[in-house]
Structure 1
Amino acid sequence: MKFFSSIYIRLVYCLLGALLLLSGCDSSFEPHQENSRYYFSMFGYLDASADTQWVRIMPVRDSLLHQPHEIDATVTLEELETGKTITLNDSLFHFSNNRYAHNFWTTQPLEPSRTYRLKAERSDGAASHTTITLPTDYPTPIAYIWEPDDFTPDRIDIKDIEKLVDAQVIHQTQDQRSTINFIKDTVVVPDRSYQVLIQPWINYESIGTTLDAIPNEDLKIFVAAATNEFPDFATIDEITITFPGGVSNVENGVGYVAGIVSKTIPYRSCFNNNLKRTPCPLIK
């Protein structure tokens, strides 16, 4: 489950915007009064490469949940090209400071290039919904990984994608998980291709270790593509994010749900029989 990638972290801004609504920052919306305009906040992404989809859906309300609490919501996901509709399962998550949130999930496979409608509906018929188009699939990236004592930046070549929205190195062991994002070190080359430059020896000093101390089998490369409609949250004013509709694709609600296709590969170079670099097998 890639639920906590940096895409997820960027989408936190949308959730923060929804929470700031509760303080009445938008004069057109008073949460302590009867609300007939915004029903649910939706927050997360659909990943055609993931085995499980997770989306956080909460009623727009005047306080956070500090006790386990059922919510009046039926959440469905419809594939618009086929009309196939499934109902997502509700799962209550407990966070620090006794805060709770509802994450809805499904193991239904999703297809690249397809369009899905996510809908949360109350028993009285009031509903929020969003429509998400997943990007087209793309070839597995090729990694150019040099020797640890060679200070030439490592590189990932990613071809034939619409928009690169995430590129990170994941250090995963039984006891620890850390990620370093390299999306800022991306070079756009012709023909819808990207080159991501990686200098992990610099970043790992910040977490008190060195690249030499990390076995290659504990390192993975994660990249994700979205459609061109995916917002560049890093460049958007935080005040804009806090307002309903400022950065939102949810009708009659707040928040943002993205659509991506992700790839996870080992942190190593792979070669074919002719010693030519080739994509490494994907990690599920």
Structure 2
Amino acid sequence: MNSEFKYEIEKHPCETHQLSYDLLWISGLVFLFFLIVSCDQTFEPLQKNDKYHFSIYGYLDAAADTQWVRVGTIRQSVDEPPDPNGIQVTLEDLQSSETVVMNDSVFTSKNVLNYWTTMDIEYEQTYRITAKGADGKASRVTVTTPNGLPPLYIITQPTPPKAALYFPDVVKHIADIQSVWYTILKSGTEIRRRIYRFPIRNTLRNTYSSLGTFVAVADWDEQREQIESSIGGADISVVTRQFFVAVGGPEWDDSLSSIDDLEYFLDGTASNVENGLGYVVGISSGWYPQVTCLTPDRSNYAPCEPREPFW
């Protein structure tokens, strides 16, 4: 068939050109049809939305004394400020049925509303967050908190200067690891404190150490270079360094790079909010010094005790 078709093209060039024009004309009509359909599909949710009522982002931290979530309304334009009137956000413990109404904060950020509560969040417990409007339409999300952080070992080395953080295999979802620097910057007569955060979850790798199954490493030289390149000629004094660590509950999505991704819904990510958009998970977090922890007689390594944030 191919040879015959080629022969006809060579024998009747005018017929071939006419065929090409016809195919081009038909292709153009098909392209125009799909363009119109795709445009209609793109803008239809903005014209009529019966599926998504609210967006909910954030996490419940069993180690924190205050919980925050961000709630947004599905609006015609992302630049349109949300109206908190008539919106009620509740947090319910599904085991005890205890329910609290979360407080509406006095500030908004990036067109979302911030709600908070001091309700106690327990480890390995399931909770439901519900955002409901005056019209009765609601979005809700159910999350389960993980167990508390297991014993963690930290080893530092002077050359090259690094700190290694070891995790046991009982941890199913390592949600976040950050190397946090507390510094004092001096430029002329101006002296100020500044905190720098470096995400290092991407350094996680398997290890055969007796201290853990996974290890993440903070490269102090590399992180200091990044700080110095951002402060110009200012002098820097390092006060101390800490690790921030968070483990996630069963809803944690390993495609997320850190819990910071949960502050806003990102295009292309999954959503676990019923009748809404966004992502909420349960976590347990802790702060640890970037020092080698030893037994009281200093004869062996010991798990590091969690601390409060330095500043």
1:202 is paired with a residue whose SS is helix
Q: Matched residues in 2 for 1:30 and 1:73: separation?
A: 25
Question: Deviation at 1:68?
Answer: 8.0
Partner residue in 2 for 1:281 = 305
1:117-160: CA deviation from partner (whole Å, max 9, x where unpaired): 1110112211000000111223242211223xx11642111222
Q: Does 1:179 align with 2:179?
A: no
Whether the aligned pair in 1 keeps the contact of 2:71 and 2:113 (CA below 8 Å) is yes
Q: Hey, what does 2:293 align to over in structure 1?
A: 270
Q: 57, 60, 72: which one pairs with 1:58?
A: 72
TM-score (norm 1): 0.76
1:179-223 CA-partner distances (Å, limit 9, x unpaired): 11111111235898421122121122022179x9543x5311011
Q: Where in structure 2 are the equivalents of 1:55-204 lying within 5 Å?
A: 55-64=69-78, 69-95=83-109, 100-147=111-158, 150-151=159-160, 153-159=162-168, 160-173=170-183, 175-189=193-207, 193-204=213-224
* Matched AA of 2:76: D
Q: Which has the higher contact order (CA 8 A, sep 6+)?
A: 1
Structure 1 unmatched runs, 5+: 1-23, 236-240
Q: Give unmatched runs, 5+ long, in structure 2.
A: 1-37, 184-191, 258-265
C-alpha distance in structure 1 between counterparts of 2:40 and 2:123, whole Å: 37
SS at match of 2:44: coil
Comparing 271-280 with 45-54, which one deviates more in the overlay?
271-280
Bigger mean CA offset, 121-130 vs 100-109: 100-109
1:219 alignment counterpart: 241
Partners of 1:124 and 1:262 lie apart in 2 by: 37
How far apart, in 1, do the equivalents of 2:101 and 2:62 lie? 17
Bigger Cα displacement from structure 2, 171-180 vs 185-194: 185-194
Distance in 1, matches of 2:75 and 2:306, equals: 42
The residue type equivalent to 2:155 in the other structure is: Y
Q: Secondary structure at the match of 2:95?
A: coil
Change (3 A) 1:26 1:163: farther
Q: How far is the alpha carbon of 1:31 from its aligned partner?
A: 4.4
Number of aligned residue pairs: give it: 248
Relative to structure 1, the CA distance from residue 78 to residue 153 in structure 2 (aligned partners, 3 Å threshold; closer, same or farther) is same
SS of the equivalent of 2:115 reads strand
Give the counterpart letter for 1:178 in structure 2: Y
Greater Rg, structure 1 or structure 2?
Answer: 2
| TM-score (structure 2 length as normaliser) | 0.70
Distance 1:67 1:229 in 2: 30
Mapped to 1, the partners of 2:244 and 2:256 lie a distance apart of 19
Distance in 2 (CA, whole Å) between partners of 1:258 and 1:26 is 34
